[in-house]
Amino acid sequence: MSQPLAGVCVLDFSTLLPGPLATLLLAEAGAEVIKIERPGKGDEMRSYQPKFGSDSVNFAMLNRGKRSVAIDLKAADAVARLRPLIERADVVVEQFRPGVMDRLGLGYEALTAINPRIVYCAITGYGQTGPKAQVAAHDLNYVAESGLLGLAAGADGAPIVPPALIADIAGGTYPAMINILLALRERDTTGRGRKLDIAMADNLFTFMYWALGNGLAAGKWPRPGGELVSGGSPRYQIYRTQDGKFLAAAPLEQKFWDNFCDAIGLEAPWRDDARDVRGTRDAIVQRVASRTAAQWREALAGKDVCCSIVASVEEALADAHFQARGLFARQLAAEGRSITALPVPIDAAFRGEATSATYPALGADNVLIGTDRERNA
């Protein structure tokens, strides 16, 4: 069967993470993705460490199965040389500050004058408009300013650095993918493309639905680290085991809570956590600290308690469940080596049959613009 995005051409002007990951998802669903890169250096992420092949493994992971054209976008003939690609493009993804593509002659108005069917997706931190549109920032800044970072607190009450680039991926990549697909569907009806304004900071508010609801409807704005799913309840907590590992316990519903209390042998006075939240939490701390992680894994197995031992990334890769799901079956190849490709949230039914693919060398596809003169510039 043909993949759902077979025949869709994507010009990717983005770098680093949000845009490249979005176009990776499109590529995995069958789209032809052509990266437009700077001559000589290309995407900045190519230079990162460690290496996999000639470039960084970060770049390789995010650009598997794509093509690369190296061209100086500031050159007088850049637009003319890119015109054949613009004429057949379905999607353009860019990640510059607002106004940069316009100054290069590659903004939405300029491109739709050539090809009115283009879906033009601009990913930025704060959006195309507003007082912060031109402000430089990174993932941590967006998470901080949206209020999301302030919901979680460490033992000293200070916010903790998130272990994932939440704004880049959840606020940038995924909304970009969703809206590109919606725009392509709209184009099926109207015959015209659309400009999409994806602001990473804006899209973080969705994750705080409960905090917004509590505050707006009841005037109960959340306390940092003090609410049900942000560290304020013994029912949604991380406990240290005897051997210095950790138990992630999430028995929120009463049936799971009752099972959990029975499984760990929690004394009757502490089972009503509404009576003394701190007392219950302290009692669980003592119980969990009395056994090793392995002992708790065995004791809680099959008890319907919503508990897990915190795994390392290496341990998660070896997890029998994820292995059985085929999550790591696809491969990323380069210069005779092969490693597990980045798992992506595209259903297996929509992905190609080939399980191994490589990433593009800088300028490897300059033939698409009629020359390879800048491939190794």
Q: Evaluate whether residue 291 is within a structural domain.
A: yes
At residue 372, does pLDDT exceed 80? no
At residue 377, does pLDDT exceed 60? no
Q: Are residues 48 and 189 in the same domain?
A: yes
At residue 376, does pLDDT exceed 80? no
The predicted model gives 326-331 an average pLDDT of: 96
Average pLDDT, whole number, for the chain? 96
Find the domain containing 171 and state its range.
9-200+327-369
The structural domain count of the chain equals 2
Concatenating the DSSP letter of every residue in 135-180 gives ----HHHHHHHTTSGGG---TTS-----SS-HIIIIIIIHHHHHHH
Question: What are the distances in angstroms from CA 21 to CA 26, 72, 168?
Answer: 9, 23, 9
At residue 373, does pLDDT exceed 80? no
Position 342, amino acid: L
Residues belonging to the active site: 138, 168
Q: Are residues 145 and 178 in the same domain?
A: yes
In this prediction, residue 1 carries a pLDDT of 66
Q: Are residues 309 and 364 in the same domain?
A: no
In this prediction, residue 374 carries a pLDDT of 58
The predicted model gives 327-334 an average pLDDT of: 97
Q: Evaluate whether residue 359 is within a structural domain.
A: yes
pLDDT tens-digit series, residues 30-55: 999 999 999 999 999 999 999 999 99
pLDDT tens-digit series, residues 2-26: 999 999 999 999 999 999 999 999 9
Domain at 278, CATH number: 3.30.1540.10
The predicted model gives 94-103 an average pLDDT of: 98
Question: What are the distances in angstroms from CA 360 to CA 34, 68, 351, 369?
Answer: 9, 6, 19, 16
Peptide bond into 162 cis (omega under 30): no
Q: Are residues 69 and 188 in the same domain?
A: yes
Q: Are residues 283 and 347 in the same domain?
A: no
pLDDT tens-digit series, residues 150-206: 998 888 889 999 999 999 999 999 999 999 999 999 999 999 999 999 999 999 999
Q: Are residues 196 and 244 in the same domain?
A: no
Q: Evaluate whether residue 226 is within a structural domain.
A: no
Q: Are residues 196 and 295 in the same domain?
A: no
Q: Which two tokens stand for residue 151?
A: 């919901």
In whole angstroms, give the CA distance from residue 38 to residue 362: 9
Position 365, amino acid: D
Q: What are phi and psi of 299, to 5 degrees?
A: -70, -30
Q: Are residues 162 and 267 in the same domain?
A: no
Find, among 128, 138, 117, 149, the residue nearest to 198 by Cα. 128
Q: Are residues 336 and 194 in the same domain?
A: yes
Asked if 309 and 246 count as a contact pair (C-beta separation under 8 A), the reply is: yes
The percentage of the chain sitting over the pLDDT mark of 70, rounded to a whole number, equals 98
Q: Are residues 90 and 143 in the same domain?
A: yes
Q: Evaluate whether residue 229 is within a structural domain.
A: no
In this prediction, residue 159 carries a pLDDT of 93
Q: Are residues 106 and 191 in the same domain?
A: yes
Show which of 317, 336, 361 is a domain's final residue: 317
pLDDT tens-digit series, residues 107-156: 999 999 999 999 999 999 999 999 999 999 999 999 999 999 999 888 88
Q: Number of C-alpha atoms within 13 angstroms, CB side, residue 168?
A: 16
Sequence-distant (6+) residues with CB within 8 A of 361 are: 54, 68
Q: Evaluate whether residue 215 is within a structural domain.
A: no
The predicted model gives 306-317 an average pLDDT of: 98
Q: Are residues 190 and 83 in the same domain?
A: yes
Q: Evaluate whether residue 207 is within a structural domain.
A: no
In this prediction, residue 319 carries a pLDDT of 97
Q: Evaluate whether residue 209 is within a structural domain.
A: no
Q: Evaluate whether residue 223 is within a structural domain.
A: no
Q: Which residue has the tokens 């099972």?
A: 259
At residue 92, does pLDDT exceed 90? yes
At residue 214, does pLDDT exceed 80? yes
Domain at 33, CATH number: 3.40.50.10540
